[in-house]
């Protein structure tokens, strides 16, 4: 539908959940996809196999993006393999909850290092590799920016930073024909959500969601597919909520 044939897309943290759905959707649209993973090689290879089963092109590259050197390694290997890059989706992230009395330096550093600093590094590397025709950057934010849950002080702060980075870079990079947007998913049915959400918190979210259900990773991927396509050439600096109409 969005015609990404000839494009190369790197999706960080794409071995499972929303990231895997994004990688698959971009491949279905015709892009060659780099599937990045930190630890689960089997899951990443399953995504690659899915793509190749319908004639698409994908490779898996291991890199723990909390390590600055591995961020550079990821982009170097990607460019070595494909020789070009057109799309970056910053999906890799971590979520840890802690009440104010339990927050310590490690809790803060781990989340800001991956959710914020690694994202900035990835943008730096992508901008360096995009050609004169520009490129597309999509950051994965979260509904927690507007409705931070109890115990998610630091995680919510990292996603607020992602929104600010998105708006700032969209202005900075516009002259280079690079658009920068973010997608803020609501409660989505993923392994990560099942880990951090309690039954009570899930029920509360559903009670405030007009569509009355959790989102699916494929539905987030559809929004990303639009934003990286030529159809979204006039869209930049936007934080697009994909949350079933969640009412605050």
Q: Which of 162, 165, 78, 157 is nearest to 125 (CA)?
A: 78
Q: Which residues pair with 215 in a beta bridge?
A: 188
Q: Is residue 79 pLDDT above 90, yes or no?
A: yes
User: Catalytic residue positions?
Assistant: 155
Which fold would CATH assign to domain 8-242?
A: Rossmann fold (3.40.50)
How many residues appear in the chain?
248
Task: Give residues with Cβ within 8 angstroms of 13, minimum separation 6.
Answer: 19, 36, 37, 38, 65, 91, 92, 93
* Residue scoring higher pLDDT (206 or 167): 167
Q: Which two tokens stand for residue 221?
A: 């991927």
Neighbours of 49 (CB within 10 A): 11
Determine whether 69 is exposed, middle or buried from the number of CB atoms within 10 Å of its CB (0-12, 13-18, 19+).
exposed
Identify each DSSP E strand in the chain by its residue range: 8-11, 32-37, 58-62, 87-90, 135-140, 178-185, 239-242
* Model pLDDT, residue 233: 97
Q: Report residue 200's pLDDT band, with 50, 70 and 90 as the boundaries.
A: confident
Domain range list for the chain: 8-242
* Model pLDDT, residue 1: 67
**H helical segments located in 57-198:** 68-82, 105-112, 118-129, 153-173, 191-196
* Model pLDDT, residue 204: 87
| Average confidence score pLDDT of the chain | 95
Q: Report residue 84's pLDDT band, with 50, 70 and 90 as the boundaries.
A: very high
Query: What's the rounded Cα separation, in Å, for the pair 198 and 207?
Result: 14
Beta strand 87-90 with 58-62: parallel, antiparallel or unpaired?
A: unpaired
Q: Which of 186, 116, 190, 122 is nearest to 155 (CA)?
A: 116
Quick one: what percent of the chain has pLDDT higher than 70?
Answer: 97
Q: Is residue 221 pLDDT above 80, yes or no?
A: yes
DSSP 116: I
Q: Is residue 93 pLDDT above 70, yes or no?
A: yes
Query: What's the rounded Cα separation, in Å, for the pair 24 and 118?
Result: 23
* Model pLDDT, residue 196: 65
Mean pLDDT of 113-118: 98
């Amino acid at each position: 539908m969005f015609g990404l044939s000839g494009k190369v897309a790197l999706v960080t943290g794409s071995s499972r959940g929303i990231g895997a759905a994004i990688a698959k959707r971009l491949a279905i649209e015709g892009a060659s996809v780099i599937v990045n993973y930190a630890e689960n090689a089997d899951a990443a290879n399953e995504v690659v196999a899915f793509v190749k089963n319908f004639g698409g092109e994908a490779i898996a590259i291991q890199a723990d993006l909390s390590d600055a050197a591995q961020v550079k390694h990821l982009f170097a290997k990607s460019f070595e393999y494909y020789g070009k890059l057109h799309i970056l989706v910053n999906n890799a992230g971590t979520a840890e909850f802690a009440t104010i009395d339990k927050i310590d330096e490690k809790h803060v550093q781990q989340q800001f290092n991956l959710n914020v600093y690694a994202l900035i590094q990835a943008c730096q590397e992508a901008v360096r590799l995009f050609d004169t025709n520009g490129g597309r950057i999509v950051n994965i934010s979260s509904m927690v920016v507007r409705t931070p849950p109890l115990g998610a002080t630091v995680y919510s702060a990292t996603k607020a930073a992602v929104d600010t980075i998105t708006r700032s870079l969209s202005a900075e990079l516009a002259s280079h024909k690079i658009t920068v947007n973010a997608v803020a998913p609501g409660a989505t049915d993923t392994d990560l959500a099942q880990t951090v959400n309690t039954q009570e918190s899930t029920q509360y979210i559903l009670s405030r969601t007009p569509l009355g259900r959790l989102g699916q990773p494929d539905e987030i991927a559809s929004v990303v597919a639009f934003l990286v396509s030529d159809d979204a050439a006039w869209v930049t600096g936007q934080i697009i909520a994909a949350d079933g109409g969640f009412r605050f």
